[in-house]
A and B are shown apart, each in its own frame.
Chain A
Amino acid sequence: MRIAYAAAFLIGFVALLADHLTSPSSGRPVSPEDFAGACAPCGAPCPSSRAAK
C-alpha cells in the first residue's frame, strides 16, 4: 500500500502544480458564493431567480 500511496500522492501533487502553473490565479481566492446570484456553496441560483427566467 505504501508504494501505491506514494505514487498517488506524487501524481496528485504534480497535477496540482501543473494546473497552477498553466491557469490564471490572480486576486484573492474565491468561492462560488462570492458571485452575484449565488444561493448555495456551489454557486447554484435561488429558486426565485430560476422561476423568474
Chain B
Amino acid sequence: MTAAVTEPAASARLPRLDWPFLIAALLALSLLVALVMIDGQPAAAALLVSGFALGVVFLKAEFSFTASWRRLIVRGQADGFLGGLLLIAIAATVIVPVAATVQGFGGTIAPIGPSLVIGAFVFGIGMQLANGCGSGTLYTVGGGSGRMLVTLALFIAGSVIGSLHLPAFLSLGGIDPVLASNHLGPWGGLAATLASIAAVAAAIVAYARKKGAAVWPARKIVIGAILIGLLCIAVFAAGRHPWSVTFGFTVWGAKLATLAGIDLTGAEFWQWPGPKRALGDSILSDTSSLTDIGMILGAMAAAAAAGPFARNAWPPLKSLLAAAVGGLLMGWGARIGFGCNIGAFVGGVASGSLHGWVWFLAVLPGCMIGIRLRPLFGLSRE
C-alpha cells in the first residue's frame, strides 16, 4: 500500500519537460541562426532549421537505418527498409529533374571503384557495432545518449584518418560517376530512378514474404519517411546539393587536429578546392556541418520536451568499446566510401547516381559481419 502511494508521488516529482536542455537547444539554434543572418546567409539559416526539423522527426519517429537493416538481415523484415526507400523516392522526384536542369544545383555523385566498395563495406561493420549510422549518431547524440557521444568522437577521428588515406584508395582505379539523367534526360532519369527503387522494393517484399516476416511499415515509419523525404527536398533547395552528413565530421576533426598543432594542409585531400576552403572557413559556411548541428539541437529539444534528459547510466564498458570501434570504422569507411547512409545511399540513389546502389550492395556484407561481431561486445544480434 505504501509503495503504491509512494511510486506515483515519486514519478510525479520528475519534470515532464527538461527545461535546462530544452532552453539550451532553442537558445543555441536561435544564436546560430542570428550569427549566419548577420553574415547575410539566409541559406545557412534554412539549413540549420531544416537540420533541426530532421532531428525532431528522426527522434520522434525513431527512424533508424541501422536497426531496420539489421531486422531485414536477421529476421527478413522489410518494414523499416521500405520506409527508407519511400523517403528516397520522395526526394528523387525533385532532386533528379532540378539537378539536371537548374543552374547551380547538382546531385550527389561519386566514382565507382574499389574505394567506394571497401569504404561502404567497412562502414557497414561499424554501423552495426556502433548501433547507428551518420544520421543515427546525430539524433541519438542530440537525444542524450552518452554512448553515442563516444561514437561521434571516434567517427570524427576516423573520418580525418580516412581523409589522409582516400587519395591512395582512389589510385586503385575506378570509373567516373554514372548519372541516369546524363544518359536519359531529366525525366527519363527520374523514371529510371523510381523504377530502380520500385524493383528493389519488390525484391525486398518478396524476400520478407518468403521469410514470413513483417512486410509493410507501421504508420509511424511511413509518416517519418514522408517528413524526412520532404526535409531532404528542403535541404536540397537551401544547399543546392542533396543532404550529406559525414563531410562535416571530417571538417570538425581536421579543425581540432589543426588546433592541436597537426598540419593537414600538405595532405592531398586537404589541397582539393572544397576541403581546402572548408578547413579555412567557418564551420557555419559548410552545408553538411549546418544540418548536422541543427539535427543535434533538434533531437535535443525533442528529447528534452518529452521528459528527463540524459539521465541514463553509462552503459557497460564492452558496449562503450563497441561504440568506439564502430565510430572509428564508420568514420574511416564514410570517407573512403564517399559518405554514409545519407550522403552515399539516400543522396546517391535520390540523384539517380549508380554509386548509391553499389554502395548499398557493398554495405550489406559489412552489416552481416557487424551483426555477427555484436555479441563479442555484449550486444544482441537483433
Contacts and interface: CB of A to CB of B under 8 A. Distances in A.
Contacts of B24: 9
A21 to B, nearest CB: 8
Contact of A50 (B44, B171, B277, B290): B171
B282 A25 contact: yes
Nearest to B311: A2
Contacts of A33: 106, 108-109, 241, 274
Interface in A14-33: 16-17, 19-20, 23-33
Contacts of B240: 31, 34
Nearest to B115: A44
Interface stretch (B65-73, B85-93, B173-181, B196-204): B173-181
A41 B244 contact: yes
Interface residues of B, number: 70
Interface residues of A, number: 39
Q: Is the interface of B mostly helix, strand, loop or mixed?
A: helix
B282 A43 contact: no
Interface in B4-24: 20-21, 24
B45 to A, nearest CB: 10
A38 B39 CA distance: 26
Contacts of A50: 170-171
B250 interface: yes
A45 B111 CA distance: 9
Interface string B26-64: 001001100110011101100100000000000000000
Contacts of A19: 255, 282-283
Contacts of A36: 273
Contacts of B239: 29, 31
B284 interface: yes
Contact of B176 (A23, A34, A42, A48): A48
Contacts of A24: 280-282, 285
Given A1-B146, A29-B44, A42 B275 contact: yes
Contacts of B313: 1
Contact of A29 (B244, B280, B285, B310): B285
A19 to B, nearest CB: 5
Contacts of A43: 272-275
B175 A31 contact: no
B44 A47 contact: no
Contacts of A38: 272-274
B335 interface: yes
Interface of A: 1-2, 4-6, 8-9, 13, 16-17, 19-20, 23-48, 50
8 contacts: A1-B314, A5-B149, A23-B283, A23-B285, A28-B41, A29-B290, A30-B287, A32-B272
Given A24-B282, A25-B39, 4 more contacts: A6-B21, A33-B108, A42-B275, A47-B173
Interface of B: 20-21, 24, 28, 31-32, 35-36, 39-41, 43-44, 47, 106, 108-111, 113, 144, 146, 149, 163, 166, 170-171, 173-177, 239-241, 244, 247, 250, 255, 269, 272-275, 277-278, 280-288, 290, 293, 300, 309-314, 335, 338-339, 343-344, 347
